Structure 1
């Protein structure tokens, strides 16, 4: 598939994919191959929309069969792509050390000669809109969208000199590494915050020497109360008016939210926004998807601008008499998730209502204990928010630089200058 590269530098070449790289399909495992545990199988569902891999919920095969499928083992650093379905063209790099096998509709990409074509550069080129647009043009027009080896082989790749390839990959990888570091830091911060919450308000660790009394939720420290969320917070109390003077909003829909993480924010004219773009969020709000609560699509709103609007598919809970550092981790507990899941209705898209959130009950300590706890917990969430905001900036910069570096519109020296100002 020959295409034009209008910004191509004179010393860069255009090559058909087949001449410089190879796509390898995985093995077509069948349902009867799978076991309840063993060696994991990497399917297209393991590739997430933010170029990450999640192998926490894989299918398995018997470990005794590993030798038979050695040719389909995925190694650390491999470049993987979904070749079918709604996530077609989504790319991720495998960064784990765990043994895992490649399923058929997952593509694995390799340069034919790394002295000519860098694997790191290949990864970033495959992530570019340039390549994704070729995928969209070449996919089969069937009920289930597919792209295959023959289609990929005909696609065009822009090939700079190897030294420049490595420099381009280094710049983009530096941004990816910083984003990943922030994500890992946030995972640690969230784990710390949750551990403190559980120690104080689930196990009652600091209060074991005090007097306990019976309650509808079991024994609790004397002076504490059982309340429902409605008594300490407001749910879905803020909506944007159709007559608002705001022109452009920052819109977040359910598909853009993971477990504790906003993956995408879409700037859009309010006049052109979908009718579900109505819920206003403010600092300290707890935003939870009401659809399929088992997926735990939620986040704590900190650091967003006052034009940020979320879908009516979210329940937005605004703490009033307790700090968000207390209420948010409560909504992250497995007990709360189970509470939502058990009350969800609907077969295809099980969902709950805002009323379900309001009726959830929890143990609320005295005000002085809340204040002492907040002094410890709030800084963790503020650092979490700072890392998230930085990641949004870094992601925007990477997504801006990627197509321009890959096409030659922006040269390495200029990109390195920009990078030095940010990192």
Structure 2
């Protein structure tokens, strides 16, 4: 008798079986379908925009009145510790899935699904399964709808097939992956601290102690600005997911990366780059998103290309370093470029060229670059280690989740 069996989620051990989320969940719900008015200093009401890979960041989270908060809490819009939270609407639909384990008492908007498992089921194991390639493929193919605004209907989450096995096996698999995740999280937090330190130095040198003798120029006077391109989407032969092809940076990639861009979700063939004359981005070039989502900044780590929503900046002078440009673009107040009081979400290439920049003297720029070089080198080193650990985790994940790789206690 075979130790394996073929199922709709792939090959699994014969002593496992396939069920559904509806079978293992006590509750499948979502957040509020109406949003109370903002109340500064009130209680947190989180949405997908506040989600990261493994937790909420409440820096820009909406806050509401206590009575509105309690009303929504009674309606079941508040996650409990151990709930699996899933982004189910918008650009990040199905991308963000984590187990809620924060101390904050919050309520959610309907863009986030809440899955509360029954006793005997490890939420971390099922979180990792839902992030796996097989589960993502099933959910994208069967349940994700809408091209302009992707979404998953709440009732469809109940139909998602999942493996069911002994709780001990769930725990062992989840613990193995969690150890890698914890290392990745520590490195990300270290990078955040390092970037904040370097940004503090930038502000101290060039904002708080600005020299009146420094020249005010337009950005195009100190850098050459190039805009990326997209081949015709209907011609699928130009697009690729092969790492052998040219990395093609999108706004989404800038949002997922930190200071340095190592990974892109899509690639272009070299033929596409040549045919459509897509400008190459060289290593250590600073990038800026300027359409749809304004103000995301990153630094290229190798030769790559981008789409038309991203600009690259090539210094005309040696002393204009990537570190200086990165923080100039990162801290620039883009709302100043708007001609009305409405929120600015996009600008054009002409507006980028005319952006004002106070150019420090050569010595100040040189000393700043020397001061932050070791910080940026450490951030880059950490970023590469994060990618290596992430690849290891993503390689182990399907093998562990499918039972192909067994964990020995």
Which of the five TM-score ranges fits, normalised by the shorter chain? 0.7 to 0.9
**Is 1:400 matched with 2:395?**
yes
Superposed displacement of residue 54, structure 1:
4.2
CA apart distance, 1:24: 2.7
Equivalent position of 2:137 in the other structure: 133
- Alignment partner of 1:225 is 2:209: no
**In structure 2, how many angstroms separate the alpha carbons of the residues matched to 1:44 and 1:365?**
39
Quote how far apart the aligned CAs of 1:124 are.
0.8
Query: Matched residue of 2:405: which SS?
Result: coil
1:40-55 alignment runs, 5 A limit: 40-47=44-51, 50=53, 53-55=56-58
- Secondary structure, aligned partner of 1:177: helix
Structure 2 distance, partners of 1:4, 1:260, is: 33
Secondary structure of the corresponding residue to residue 280 of structure 1: coil
Question: Does the alignment pair 1:382 with 2:377?
Answer: yes
Look up the match of 1:108: 114
C-alpha change, 1:152 and 1:359, in structure 2 (3 Å) is: closer
Secondary structure in structure 2 of the residue aligned to 1:158: strand
What aligned pairs does 1:259-338 form with structure 2 within 5 A after superposition? 261=258, 262=261, 264-271=264-271, 278-292=278-292, 295-301=294-300, 304-306=301-303, 308-319=304-315, 320-322=317-319, 323-335=321-333, 337-338=334-335
Residue 257 of structure 1 aligns to a residue whose secondary structure is: helix
- Is 1:118 paired with 2:122? yes
State the distance in 2 between where 1:265 and 1:138 align: 21
Aligned residues: 382
Question: What is the TM-score when the length of structure 1 is the normalising length?
Answer: 0.77
Deviations 1:33-58 (A, max 9, x none): 3233322223344445x565444444
Maintained 8 Å contact 1:235/1:317: yes
| Cα distance between partner residues in 2 of 1:30 and 1:365 | 49
Residue number in structure 2 paired with 1:255: 252
- 1:74 maps to which residue? 79
User: In 2, distance between residues paired with 1:382 and 1:351?
Assistant: 31
Counterpart position of 2:203: 198
Of residues 378-387 and 53-62 in structure 1, the stretch that sits farther from structure 2 once superposed is 53-62
CA contact (8 A) 1:260 1:298 kept: no
2:22 to 18, 35, 44: 18
Structure 2 stretches of 5 or more lacking a match?
A: 1-5, 230-237
Bigger Rg over Cα: 1
Aligned Cα RMSD in Å?
3.6
Tell me what 1:35 maps to: 38
Q: TM-score, normalised by structure 2?
A: 0.79
Q: CA deviation at 1:268?
A: 4.2
In structure 2, relative to structure 1, the CA distance for the partners of 1:368 and 1:395 (3 Å cut) is same
Stretches of structure 1 lacking an aligned partner (at least 5 in a row): 205-218, 417-423
- C-alpha distance in 1, partners of 2:17/2:256? 42
**CA drift at 1:200:** 1.0
Matched-pair contact (CA < 8 Å) for 1:43–1:102: yes
What CA deviation, in whole Å up to 9, does each residue of 1:299-332 have, x standing for no partner?
Answer: 123xx233x2222321111223322222221122
Q: Does 1:178 align with 2:180?
A: no
Work out whether 1:152 is the aligned partner of 2:157: yes
1:199 to partner: Cα distance: 0.8
Give 1:363 deviation, angstroms. 2.6
Q: Greater CA deviation, 187-196 or 325-334?
A: 325-334
* CA deviation vs aligned residue, 1:349-375 (integer Å, no higher than 9, x gap): 73320x433333333333223222221
1:164 to 161, 169, 184: 169
